Structure 1
Amino acid sequence: MESQNNTIAVYLRLSEEDYDVGSKDSLKEESNSISNQRKLVNDYLKRHKEFAQLVTLEYCDDGYSGTNFDRPGFQRMISDASTRKIGIIILKDYSRLGRNFLGVGHYLEEVFPELEIRVISINDGYDSENVMETSDGISIPMKNLINDYYVKDLSKKVKSAVHSRQKKGEFISPYAIFGYKKAPTDKHKLIIDEETAPIVKLIFKYALNGLNGSNIARKLNGLEIFTPAGYSNTNRHRKYVIDDKTVWTSPKVLKIIRDQRYAGDMISNVRVRTKIAKQESERVNRDEWIIVKGTHEGIVSKEIYWKVNNDIMPPTEKETILLGDYRRKGFYYCADCGRLLRRSHTTINPYYECARSRYTEDKCSEIKVYEKDMMSTMVELIQNHIKLLCDTEKLIRDLKQKIYKENKAEMTVADADNAINKLQQTKMNLYERYRLNSISREEYILRKKQLAMQIEELEERKLKICNGIGDREEREILEHKLSDLIEKYKNVSVFSDAVMNDLIDKVIVYSEERIEIKWKYQTEFEDMLMKLLEQVA
């Protein structure tokens, strides 16, 4: 196999799974560090003269797990491989690529060969151009299976270590909860944050006075008190995508009221991950929570906490806000403040509204759109959008045919070079014929001039291709995406959230009568059409 592009992609990756459990100073950490991976690859390139004159690009994922492939550096490398910007991938070993047996095998045995990408794994002694097994005699699938087992075994060790800390009542989250900060001498112990703890006390004071979650939220917003996310943005390293329109809501208030940690008890094992490579987690039954009492100073007394939670505001059966179970989902946004619209919990005729209008005096447009009406509108708009995609695909096809008929067929740089070389060879053959008196001087000069004009035209077209005009590779990827969307949804009449997420970026709601849809890939499809129209003009 010979790559079409000899640009080298150097892939480096390091994550927590590369540390030995319980030790961040291990030899293994030093061996796998990004700097050592980079040095290993650079030394390899220096030892092999075939790579001396080749361009090298680096793709790095520092702090990303190998159990899934949703990593920015890796995805950028795959994107460049798909568009033939790279032709060789070099890495320290298979585990840098990933620790998922099936996933790594898919890329090594299907994706990279299909893209004609040469892969070199240095420590495994593997070069896809001439080797079918690693230097230690272990086959590629077996090597990947070992890496996959390593992750599963390591996951058990990490879970065991975490469980042990939880039973001791240690705080193991990366950030302290609102109202607390981590002790300077012990990051697993909480101490009161004098700046934000008074807000927690105020919330419980309002609750003792009989205010519900919504009324407490309105009070806090009226006092212009920052939300927990607002404080995190201004005072800590953690950054949220928020603005000055972020407000207190009933779920945010109830999340604090229901959290027993504010009474001085440590609560853990509330949510657990079900799969190693998945970020999603599921809620654990309360009787399986780990509760260790009296681990830190409470912001409120146990008497106040239990009076509020048992007597004044007992949790309802439907309440799902406990300790972070609240998740905002969807793609309907308020046109005034940009917030994600809240779906009501009513079973009869549910609706969407902007929570800001419920909790602040600064009203938005008081949007209230019923889900049934919204879905009816969305189905019609999606069906029209799919018809438009079909028309777009047909227009692209017609434009391409017109370009070819007018002898303006697109070409790659390689196509242009081949055509130029053929014309240069024709010029040489023409001269030989003239030298042998096979053609007259006048005919020679005329045909030589015609060939020169053709070569000049091709050189200009080659320059345009190099500048990104007429290069068909990126457009072909978009064309495939367009065809896939049409094929997938042209006969669909019922649209689930999953379907909508595939087609829609966001829906901006102005009122019951007016919405604006931001379609996925819309800009890319429009740019593709404009380039084709420019070629026809």
Structure 2
Amino acid sequence: MISNALHNGDYCIYLRKSRKDIELEALGEGETLARHEKTLLALSRSLKVPIKKIFREVVSGETIQERPEIQKLLKEVEDGIWAGVFVMEVERLARGDTSDQGVIAQAFKFSSTKIVTPSKIYDPENEFDEEYFEFGLFMSRREFKTINRRLQNGRLTSISEGKYVGNIPPYGYKKYKLPKEKGYSLEIIPEEAKIVQMIFDLYVNGEVTPNGDREEFGTALIAKKLNTLKVPSAKGGLWRTSTIQSILRNPVYMGKIKWGSRPLKKRRVDGKIVKSRPRLSINEMKLVQGRHENIVSDELWWKANNKLSLNPAKPVPAHLKIASPLVGLVYCGFCGRAMVRRPHPNQNDSLICQIPECKNVSSFLYLVEQRIIESLKKWLVEYKTDWDNNKRIEEQNNDAELLENAINKIDKDIDNLKIQLDNLHDLLEQNIYTPDVFIDRTKKITEKTKKLDVEKTNLLKQLEALGGVNDKVGEMIPVVEHVLDLYSLDHSPALRNEMLKSVLSKVVYTKEKGARWHGSLDDFSIKIFPKLPRDHH
């Protein structure tokens, strides 16, 4: 039994699944977080401690920076909000490296926040409890590394036996369970396998034209051809150049299983762990013969990859990274995707939709840029007129009054819930409510209070934003005027892009007819979305 020596204050619950919990759920043990929540609520009831908040970690992560709920909890612990935190075991708090464990241990120690588990209450001000707590974190890390090592060894064993260990089968295959043994392999989907063969053949051999010549096909042309033929991709959408490249690079199509093609690399940057997965060459990764049937021959696969290696993606020099003043700003009016620049050696650059099948017609980039500047000037005139007439201020004042009324109502509702919570304790002491009914109703009142607190916080933020809008409305005018005064086509694309993005959130471009048939290069429409004051909050 644990001691019931808990001082007054607010308490919360932190819930997180372990790998062992996930395995037990697969065996029918029930939902872990729900069971743990019930156990800890019962524990709080027996200790006569009301729970004010529950943190539920639903993502897996080795480090603190990968787990958003533990970050929120630690921030509130450091701020002294909680007198104690209920957890199933101290191991639930951290399984990361020693630096993460130190962060957690110090957060609880310096704030004098207790850790309450079904087996023990840890008091950070007690040196014996502190040692016990730190030892628990150490054992948790050791267990994590042991489990991870076991899983990695299991995957390597499966790969060495030619089994497929991926979650999602590659296009052209479906995954199936191997009979009478552990593991999976792949089975060919005939209609998709034909598309894979077509991709490799087009890339290596090209296509015969009506006059008998062979037309060379790159990955972009292959994607366009498949989309023209209405062949659905693996996800049912359009084919992309990157998808074609991934298929060509995957040795699974010549009957091999790869391992270690994207090794995890960690490094510390500005005190944070940054993870990356650099792509290794085919000669650097591990290849074993798979149990599945190949779709293309070894010879064809290697020819395709040798050709790919002759055309590697070249890194863009820093000074050329922004070659268009409209990058990341203009979006297609038909499909909603970002418009991109297409350079031309003998004429002006064009602005096009990146989806070949989209019916939005391209225009010269400089014409679109000029139209944006003209539209921004026109918008500024109208905006200044509205400002002079105080129309926007009146609207903001009306909004502020409505927000204040809503906040006052929430305050009254919260006060009523507090009274209900006090009455629950009286009903429990009078044996009118059973403990289970008490816990259930306490939880419901706590959840209602929590929702109201969130609503109030959001409304207060909106009210605070409105408080500064009247001033910001006037400030917006000289900002746009300054950009328009300085804007010049002589400036670099990067600088022009920065200036436009400082006053515009986006631009929507639409053009239905080409100039060849319609006769006008600038017959397109744009809609600008200026960054109004509320966008800055």
TM-score range, shorter chain: 0.5 to 0.7
Distance, in Å, in 2 between the alignment partners of 1:14 and 1:73 is: 12
Q: CA offsets per residue over residues 396-436 of structure 1, 9 Å max, x none?
A: xx99xx99xxxxx999959x98xxxxxxxxxxxxxxxxxxx
Read off the aligned partner of 2:57 and give its amino acid letter: D
1:303-342 to 2 correspondence within 5 Å?
Answer: 303-310=299-306, 313-319=307-313, 333-341=331-339
- For residues 18-64 of structure 1, the C-alpha deviation after alignment (integer angstroms, 9 at most, x for no partner) is 67xxxx5699997994455335414422421234xx5x654433462
**Pair 1:215 & 2:197 matched:** no
- Report the Cα offset of residue 118 of structure 1: 5.6
Q: Which residue, out of 5, 13, 18, partners 2:16?
A: 13
- SS of the residue corresponding to residue 162 of structure 1 reads helix
Q: Report what 1:177 is aligned to.
A: 170
Q: Which of 144, 150, 155 is matched with 1:162 structurally?
A: 155
Q: Distance in 1 between matches of 2:30 and 2:154?
A: 23
Task: Name the CA distance, whole Å, in 2 between partners of 1:523 and 1:79.
Answer: 27
Matched, 1:193 2:189: yes
SS class of match (2:199): helix
Take 1:507 and 1:121, find their aligned partners in 2: how far apart are those partners? 54
Please name the residue that 1:45 is paired with: 44
Deviation track 1:251-289 (CA, whole Å, cap 9, x = no partner) reads 322322232221212222110222397664222344320
1:283 is paired with a residue whose SS is coil
> Across the two proteins, how many residue pairs are aligned to each other?
414
Q: Does 1:122 align with 2:113?
A: no
What's 2:293 paired with?
297
Instruction: Output one character per residue of 1:357-391: Cα deviation in whole Å (capped at 9) or x when no partner.
Output: 3xx2x422436758xx79x99xx99xx9xxxxxxx
Cα distance in 2 for partners of 1:345, 1:183 equals 47
User: Per-residue CA shift, 1:44-90, capped at 9, x if unaligned?
Assistant: 22421234xx5x65443346234245446657878999999998642
Q: Distance in 1 between matches of 2:86 and 2:533?
A: 32
Task: Classify 1:299/1:124 alpha carbon distance in 2 versus 1 (closer, same or farther; 3 Å).
Answer: same
Cα distance 1:33–1:508, how it changes in 2: closer, same or farther (>3 A)? same
Structure-2 separation of matches of 1:273 and 1:200: 29
- Of residues 187, 194, 199, the one that matches 1:203 is 199
Structure 1 Cα separation of the partners of residues 77 and 501 of structure 2: 26
- Corresponding residue of 1:274: 265
CA distance in 1, matches of 2:286, 2:501: 37
Letter in 2 for 1:275: K
| TM-score of the two chains, using structure 2 as the length reference | 0.56
Write the deviation string for residues 445-482 of structure 1: whole angstroms up to 9, x where unpaired.
Answer: xxxxxxxxxxxxxxxxxxxx999799975567789999
Question: Where does 1:5-154 land on structure 2 (aligned, <5 Å)?
Answer: 6=10, 9-16=12-19, 24=23, 33-34=32-33, 36-51=35-50, 58-62=54-58, 64-71=60-67, 89-100=85-96, 101-103=98-100, 106=103, 109-110=106-107, 120-122=115-117, 125-126=120-121, 131-133=124-126, 138=131, 140=133, 143-148=136-141, 150-152=143-145, 154=147
Counterpart in 2 of 1:247? 238
Q: Contact conserved, 1:354 with 1:367, CA < 8 A, in 2?
A: no
Deviation at 1:297, TM superposition (A): 0.6
Q: Aligned with 2:266: secondary structure?
A: coil
For the 8 Å contact 1:120–1:126, the answer to whether it is kept is: yes
- Provide the C-alpha distance between the structure 1 equivalents of 2:232 and 2:501, rounded to a whole number of angstroms: 32
Question: Structure 1 CA distance, aligned partners of 2:504 and 2:126?
Answer: 45
The Cα RMSD (Å) is 6.3
> Which amino acid in 2 is paired with 1:67?
T
**Secondary structure of residue in 2 paired with 1:10:** strand
Alignment-mate amino acid for residue 257 of structure 2: M
Give the drift of 1:17.
Answer: 7.2
Contact 2:249 2:305 in 1 (8 A): yes
CA distance in 2, matches of 1:29, 1:272: 34
Secondary structure at the counterpart of residue 255 of structure 1: helix
Conserved? CA contact 1:105–1:144, under 8 Å? no
- The residue type equivalent to 1:173 in the other structure is G
Taking a change above 3 Å as real, the CA distance of residues 123 and 47 of structure 1, as seen in their structure-2 partners, is: closer
Corresponding residue for 1:355? Answer: 354
Distance in 2 between the 1:519 and 1:478 partners?
Answer: 17
Quick one: which amino acid aligns to residue 232 of structure 2?
F
Unpaired runs of at least 5, structure 2 = 1-6, 208-215, 268-272, 316-326, 381-392, 402-406, 416-448, 467-471, 473-478, 484-493, 512-523
**Which letter maps to 1:339?**
R
Do the aligned partners of 2:340 and 2:351 also contact (CA within 8 Å) in 1? yes
The whole-number CA distance in structure 1 between the counterparts of 2:100 and 2:533 is 27
Aligned to 1:421: none
CA distance in 2, matches of 1:86, 1:294: 55
C-alpha distance in structure 1 between counterparts of 2:61 and 2:332, whole Å: 35
Write the distance in 2 (CA, Å) between the matches of 1:168 and 1:339: 44
- Sort the Cα spacing of 1:172 and 1:467 in 2 relative to 1 into closer, same or farther, 3 A: closer
Structure 1 residues 500-531: Cα deviation after superposition (integer angstroms, max 9, x where no partner): 99999877566899575697995694xxxxxx
- Structure 1 residues 259, 468: CA separation in 2 closer, same or farther (over 3 Å shift)? closer
TM-score w.r.t. the length of structure 1 is 0.56
Structure 1 counterpart of 2:360: 364
8 Å contact 1:60–1:73 — kept in the other structure? yes
**Which SS does the other structure have where 2:309 is aligned?**
coil
* Contact kept? 1:133, 1:139, Cα under 8 Å: no
CA distance in 1, matches of 2:77, 2:503: 25
Question: Offset at 1:298?
Answer: 1.0
Deviations 1:203-237 (A, max 9, x none): 2343332433222222211121111222xxxxxxx
Amino acid at match of 1:336: F
Shift in Å, 1:177: 0.7
C-alpha change, 1:517 and 1:150, in structure 2 (3 Å) is farther
Amino acid at match of 1:249: R
